């Protein structure tokens, strides 16, 4: 028998209780692995590029109050506007990957003029303009799914059915674009032709989700935003305009809030598990007072007995954490396609280290009280009580 063999034998004293405690810790760290990864996706870096662009969105809701496409021309007519391009949220699922990437209906030339930092070959852009069922994808998205130019990309819509009621939309990949300093991971837009989309969809014809406005002078962006909102204030479709930076920052803040909620849930779960494990450890310790006294009589020093109690707690907690985090990793691989649109799904080494460190601290914390008490046990009293 080794020292650790003795330790495991002690853990097996009340097998059901030990397993239940172990499973509690596994579940706790399974949640940890899942929530940290998902929370990390919501609080990951968001591109703040585009200080020279304004986002004109519906004042109240993109879903219930979309903007008329005619707003785009009105915006172009404003002084200080260098270009305007509308866009919409198509939604839709790609094969079994779910919402694998955002599909955005755009007017090709207008949109790429506004997003002038996006690089696309002129002939591919021209083909996109002239192919009503055409689409362009980022090079990263194409590589991810093994697409080649000329491939047909089937997308099942979940917001917009076609006029004939069909939800299956098919697009021909006619070009690939590159975006500089991409930080969106898998979350890169797939652009389809607005004219085809608008003509073929069953409802909301002539409406768009938002309009991007390129400003001539970024220093006057805030002023221009006020002018735009004033322009449409009394229309049936009022707007809310902000710089792309503000828009992204607001988006990032909302995502950051989700991260905060995730952390709060984690904290609550940990606190509950801490109490549960501490209670179990103390109960187990009380039942073994006699045995610990005998060990001390046999020559086990106070420190050794305390370490033994502490190791048991550590083995239980770190072992449970390792299994829990491992399971979360396996689960994340399973759900990756469903979450891919929010960014790269991966259990980072930082999360793994954080999880195991927390487990070790948890183990030390819940084992500390029994360990200290074990060290200070008066042998004679314990043996007398044992008989």
Q: Which stretches of the chain bind another protein, using CB under 8 A?
A: 1-3, 5-6, 9-10, 12-13, 290-291, 294-304, 379-380, 383-384, 386-387
Those residues whose C-beta lies under 8 Å from the C-beta of residue 68, and which sit 6 or more positions away, are: 206, 207, 208, 237
Whether residue 376 contacts residue 335, with contact meaning beta carbons closer than 8 Å, is answered with: no
Smaller CB separation from another protein, 196 or 300 = 300
Rounded-to-5 percentages of helix, strand, coil across the chain:
55, 15, 25
Smaller CB separation from another protein, 136 or 371 = 371
The distance of closest approach from Cβ of residue 330 to another protein in the complex, given in angstroms and rounded to an integer, is 33
Q: How far apart are CA 60 and CA 172, in angstroms?
A: 34
Whether residue 195 contacts residue 157, with contact meaning beta carbons closer than 8 Å, is answered with: no
The distance of closest approach from Cβ of residue 382 to another protein in the complex, given in angstroms and rounded to an integer, is 10
Smaller CB separation from another protein, 366 or 377 = 377
Q: How far apart are CA 205 and CA 70, in angstroms?
A: 12
Smaller CB separation from another protein, 21 or 351 = 21
Those residues whose C-beta lies under 8 Å from the C-beta of residue 86, and which sit 6 or more positions away, are: 67, 69, 71, 72, 106, 107, 110, 194, 208, 209, 210, 211, 212
The distance of closest approach from Cβ of residue 24 to another protein in the complex, given in angstroms and rounded to an integer, is 22
Q: Is 187 helix (H, G, I), strand (E, B) or coil?
A: coil
The distance of closest approach from Cβ of residue 20 to another protein in the complex, given in angstroms and rounded to an integer, is 18
Smaller CB separation from another protein, 6 or 60 = 6
The distance of closest approach from Cβ of residue 385 to another protein in the complex, given in angstroms and rounded to an integer, is 12
């Amino acid at each position: 028998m080794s020292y650790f063999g003795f330790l495991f034998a002690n853990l097996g004293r009340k097998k059901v209780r030990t397993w239940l405690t172990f499973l509690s810790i596994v579940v706790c760290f399974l949640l940890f692995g899942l929530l940290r990864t998902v929370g990390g996706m919501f609080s990951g870096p968001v591109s703040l590029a585009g200080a020279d662009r304004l986002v004109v969105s519906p004042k109240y809701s993109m879903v219930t109050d979309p903007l008329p496409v005619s707003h785009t021309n009105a915006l172009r007519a404003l002084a200080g506007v260098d270009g305007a391009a509308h866009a919409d949220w198509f939604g839709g699922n790609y094969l079994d990957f779910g919402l694998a990437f955002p599909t955005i209906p755009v007017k090709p030339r207008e949109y790429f003029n506004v997003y002038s930092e996006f690089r696309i070959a002129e002939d591919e852009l021209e083909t996109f303009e002239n192919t009503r069922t055409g689409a362009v994808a980022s090079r990263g998205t194409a590589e991810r799914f093994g697409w080649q130019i000329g491939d047909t990309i089937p997308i099942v819509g979940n917001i917009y059915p076609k006029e004939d009621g069909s939800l299956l939309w098919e697009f021909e990949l006619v070009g690939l674009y590159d975006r500089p300093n991409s930080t969106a991971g898998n979350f890169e837009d797939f652009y389809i032709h607005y004219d085809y989309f608008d003509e073929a969809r069953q409802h909301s014809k002539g409406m768009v989700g938002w309009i991007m406005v390129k400003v001539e002078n970024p220093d006057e962006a805030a002023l221009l935003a006020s002018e735009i909102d004033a322009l449409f204030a009394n229309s049936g479709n009022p707007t809310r305009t902000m710089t792309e930076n503000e828009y992204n920052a607001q988006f990032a803040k909302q995502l950051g809030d989700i991260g905060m909620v995730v952390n709060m849930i984690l904290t609550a779960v940990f606190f509950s598990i801490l109490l549960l494990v501490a209670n179990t450890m103390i109960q187990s310790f009380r039942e073994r007072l006699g045995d610990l006294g005998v060990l001390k009589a046999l020559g086990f020093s106070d420190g050794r007995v305390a370490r033994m109690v502490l190791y048991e707690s550590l083995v239980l907690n770190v072992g449970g954490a390792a299994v829990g985090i491992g399971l979360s990793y396996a689960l994340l691989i399973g759900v990756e396609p469903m979450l891919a649109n929010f960014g790269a799904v991966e259990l980072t080494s930082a999360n793994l280290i954080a999880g195991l460190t927390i487990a070790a601290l948890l183990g030390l914390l819940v084992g500390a009280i029994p360990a200290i008490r074990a060290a200070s046990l008066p042998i004679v009293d314990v043996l007398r009580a044992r008989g």
